[in-house]
Amino acid sequence: QVQLIESGGGLVQAGASLRLSCAGSGRAFSSYGMGWFRQAPGKERDEREFVATINFNGGRTDYADSMEGRFTISRDNSKNTMYLQMNSLRPEDTAVYYCAARSSLFNSRNDFEYDYWGQGTQVTVSS
């Protein structure tokens, strides 16, 4: 089992950057595929949007089309931490961002395949 804690959210202007972190507990952090998902204002939890995912060793990543080229997902297994570097932020990126881990070495775009979730961190981008 792993517990996840996100940090790094905040209020920024359009065009700014933020880096989110997801710290995981437990010894098996390096054996989990992981991802970032977001829930926009007014959306239900089952309408969470896939943002980016990464496999167990960081060798394979996957991005939603609207984030490709602006966001970078990475992980440092020696620190039990995953990151999301977000550049050129837009107002439509405003959401609660969640990190998630699945009991598999591999990543997936499907949120229902993830077993563990953090509490979320708010990102607000003003125009």
Cα-Cα-Cα-Cα torsion 81, 86, 90, 92, nearest 10 degrees, comes to -30
Residues in a beta bridge with 4 = 24
Q: What is the pLDDT along the chain (127 residues), one digit of tens a residue?
A: 899 999 999 999 999 999 999 999 977 999 999 999 999 999 998 899 999 999 999 999 999 999 999 999 999 999 999 999 999 999 999 999 999 999 999 999 999 999 999 999 999 999 9
Question: CB count, 10 Å around CB of 14?
Answer: 13
Give 2's DSSP letter: -
